[in-house]
Structure 1
Amino acid sequence: MPSLEHESLAMLFHNRPSLAADILHNALKVDIPDYRRARVESGDLTEWNPAEFRADAVVVFEAAAPVLAVVVEIQLRRDKGKRWSWPVYLAGLRARTRCPAILLVICADASVGDWCAEPIDLGHPGWTLTPLVLKPEAVPVVTDAQEAARAPELTVLSTVTHGAAYDRVRMFHALLSALAALEDTDRAALYFDIVLRALPGTPATELEAMMNSDTSPYKSDLARRSKAEGKVESILTVLEVRGIPIPSEARERIMACTDVAEAQAWLERAVIVRTVDALFD
C-alpha cells in the first residue's frame, strides 16, 4: 500500500500538472515542446488495467493536440517489478496519446535514485529505456518568496527535500509566503501538513513555531484565515442551534469572512441577536 509520503508527493503533480515541466526543464535540462496547457490523465496505462500497471501520475502537455506525455513515478525504495512495468507505462501512454512519452521518477533517497536511473534493456537491439530521475540533489532550493508564490507545489517539494538543511529559515519563509498566497486555504493547510510530517523533529518544530509566532508576517495571512474559518463555523452553528433562519445571501457573507476580529464580533452577537441581519449591525 502506498505510504502517506508517496501519496503526498504524487498529489503535487495532480494539483499542478505543469510541475512536471518545471522539473524536466529546470532541474533535468530536458527540452519541453511549446504547449498551451497541461492536464492530468488517467494513470491506467493498459487496456486490461491490472493494478501493477497504474502510474502515480500522468501529465499530458497540449498545443492543438498532445505534444508530450509524462509518466510520473514516486519511488521511495527499490522495487524490481518497476523495471518490468515502466516500459509498459510508456508504451501504453504513447499509444494512447499518439505523442512522445517520457518517464520521470521522483526519488527522496539518492541511492534509490541511482538504482532507478540504471538503463533498462528491453531485449530488442537498440531499445533501451533510461529513466529520467529527479534525485534529492537535483531538486531546486526555493528561497525566494515571489518564486515560491508562483510555484507553491515546487516549493513544497523543495522544502520536503531540503528542509533539514542549514539555510532552512529562508526556505521556510518562502514556503509560508507561498501558502499565504494560495486562495484555497484547505490546500494551503494540507501542504503545510505534508511538509510538517516530512521534516525531522527539530526543523518541523522550528517551522511550526515560525508559523505560530505573533511576529510572523505570514500568520496574518494563512493562520489568520484558518482561525477566521473556525469562528465562521461557530457562528453558523450558534445561529442554527438557536433556530435563527440564515438566508443564502447572509450565509455566503458569513462564510466569506477572513477577518478574525470581525468574525469574533459576529460570533459574540450570534449568541444574542434575534435575526441574522442584526449580526452585521
Structure 2
Amino acid sequence: MHTMPSQTHQNLVLLFRRHPHLAFELAREANLQLSPSHEQIYEVSSEAEDPSRIEAPLRSDVVIAGTNAGEPVDAIVVEIQLEQDEAKAWALLFYIASVWRELGCHTWAMLFSPRHAVLVWAQTRLYPRRPELAPLVITPDLIPPITTLEHALSNMARAVLSVVLHGQGPDAVACACATIQAIIQLAPPDIERYLQLVQTSISQDDMQEVRDQVPTQVREHLSEWELESSLYRNGLDKGLEQGLEQGREQGLEQGLEQGRQQGLEQARGVLHETLLQLLQARDIEPDDSTVARIRACTLLDQLQAWIVRAGTVSALDDLFE
C-alpha cells in the first residue's frame, strides 16, 4: 500500500533541492570519485520509466547533476529514507541506471536518514552480499555538530542536517541554538520547513533550553512560529471546519450560524489548552485563578497574544501585563 510521505521526509527533500551544492560537498568529503570541479550544479528530473511497468514511472527523491561545458559529467541520486525498506536495494540500482542512461554521465546514490538504525541498515544490510553496491550513506561523522552561529550562517543547510543527525546527543542544544538563530537571521523562503526539522529533531526539554538561551528577539520570532504551527493552526482550522461542516449539513442559515459558533467555541478551547500547556512546558505552573481567567477569555486575538507572550515570560505575573 502506498503511503503519503511524512512532513519530515518532504522537508529534507526540499532542503537538498534548495541547496543542490550540499550533495556534491558531502560526496567530495566522502571521497567519491567526482570530476575535479563543475561549472554548474543543479536539480534535474527524478522521474524514470520502468521498462516493465511503463504505465507507472518511478521517482527518486532528488537528482543533482554537475556540468562542464554545458554537458553533465556527474550526477547524484539523493534518497531520504525514514524506514528500512528492502525494496530500496533494487530501486537504488534502477535510479542510478536510469539517470546514467538519461544524462550519459557517471551516477552515484546518496542516502540520508535522521534515524541511526536506518543508517546502519543501509551500510551493512541493504546489500549484504554485494557491499560495493551500497550507496554513500551520510553518517553523523560526515556532518559534525555545528555549534556556533558563525558556522551555521556560513552553511545553513548543513547546520540543519547537523541538528537532524545530532539532535539526541550532547550537542543537541548548542546545535539547535546556532541553527535556529541562523535560520531566523537569514530568513529563507522555506523558513518554517527548516524550523520544523530542527524542532522535531530534539527533545521537548532541549527545545525549552534552546528557548531560554537564544536572544529575546529570536525567542519571540520562534514563539510566533510555534503559534502558527501544527498545535495552534491545525486545531483552530479543525475547530472552525468541523463547526461549519455541521452547519452545511443542516443546510440552513440558522445551522450555519450555529456551526460557526460551535467552531469558534472549539477554537477557543484549543487556544485555552495551548496556552496552559505552553506555560506548563516552560515550568510556569498556573494557579487556579489564572486558569479561570484564561478559560473565561473568549477573544481569539487576546488568547493569541497571551500565547506569544507565554513563550518569553519567566514568571506568571508577567503574562497579563
TM-score range, shorter chain: 0.5 to 0.7
Aligned to 2:12: 9
Q: 2:105 aligns with which of 85, 99, 105?
A: 99
Q: Any idea what the Cα deviations from partners look like across 1:114-152, whole Å, max 9, x if unmatched?
A: 221246499xxx996221111334332112323311211
Aligned to 1:41: 44
Q: In the alignment, residue 66 of structure 1 is paired with which amino acid?
A: P
Q: In the alignment, residue 186 of structure 2 is paired with which amino acid?
A: L
Local SS of the residue matching 1:46: strand
Q: In the alignment, residue 69 of structure 1 is paired with which amino acid?
A: A
Matched, 1:75 2:77: no
Q: Which runs of 4+ in 1 moved over 4 A?
A: 222-226
CA contact (8 A) 1:120 1:129 kept: yes
Any stretches of 5+ residues in structure 2 without a counterpart? 226-321
Local SS of the residue matching 1:147: helix
Which structure has the highest helix share of the two? 2
CA distance in 2, matches of 1:3, 1:144: 30
Q: 1:142 aligns with which of 132, 141, 146?
A: 146
CA contact (8 A) 1:39 1:61 kept: yes
Q: In the alignment, residue 207 of structure 2 is paired with which amino acid?
A: A
Which deviates further from its counterpart, 107-116 or 10-19? 107-116
Q: 1:219 to 1:133 in 2, by over 3 A?
A: same
Q: 1:199 aligns with which of 197, 202, 211?
A: 202
Aligned to 2:133: 129
CA contact (8 A) 2:211 2:219 kept: no
CA contact (8 A) 2:16 2:22 kept: yes
Q: 1:172 to 1:127 in 2, by over 3 A?
A: closer
Matched, 1:29 2:27: no
CA contact (8 A) 2:11 2:193 kept: no
TM-score, normalised to structure 2, is 0.59
Matches within 5 A, 1:226-265: none
Aligned to 2:193: 190
Aligned residues: 216
CA distance in 2, matches of 1:96, 1:42: 10
Aligned to 1:164: 168
CA distance in 1, matches of 2:55, 2:93: 15
CA contact (8 A) 1:107 1:136 kept: no
C-alpha deviation, 1:225, in angstroms? 11
CA distance in 2, matches of 1:96, 1:20: 20
CA contact (8 A) 2:145 2:171 kept: no
CA distance in 2, matches of 1:151, 1:62: 23
Q: 1:225 to 1:109 in 2, by over 3 A?
A: closer
Any stretches of 5+ residues in structure 1 without a counterpart? 227-281
CA contact (8 A) 1:108 1:135 kept: no
Aligned to 2:117: 111
Percent of aligned positions that are identical: 25
Aligned to 2:275: none
